[in-house]
Amino acid sequence: MFSYPDLDLKISISLLVISFVIGLVTWAVSKKWKLGLIVFSILGNLSFLINVGSFMYISYSLKWLQYFSLFFWPLINIALVIIYRKQKNEERSN
């Protein structure tokens, strides 16, 4: 399998920047900073997950980022969604 680490890194960083912009737009439109953070976090995680099998992690000594985006970042996203939903339900009941 041929891999282009430079291109993979550029794609991941571009998608991360796009995720940040989408998160900012979500925050600006909804006026809920936690929702913007969740959107950015999930999309940012996806920007690295699409290249999880890429050679870029080895080429640039980013093996830690590969493990983080595969094992820990999804858990952080799940925790953020649970906290957000719990807080939203508490606001509705009050």
Distance CA 55, CA 59 (A): 6
Query: Can you give the pTM of this predicted structure?
Result: 0.83
CA distances from 15 to 10, 21, 26, 79, 89 (A): 8, 10, 16, 23, 32
User: Digits of tens for pLDDT over the chain (94 positions)?
Assistant: 457 888 888 888 999 999 999 999 999 998 988 899 999 999 999 998 888 888 888 888 888 988 899 999 999 999 999 999 988 888 887 6
- Please report the pLDDT score of residue 2 as a whole number: 54
4: DSSP letter:
-
Q: How far is CA 28 from the centre of its chain?
A: 18
Distance CA 37, CA 20 (A): 9
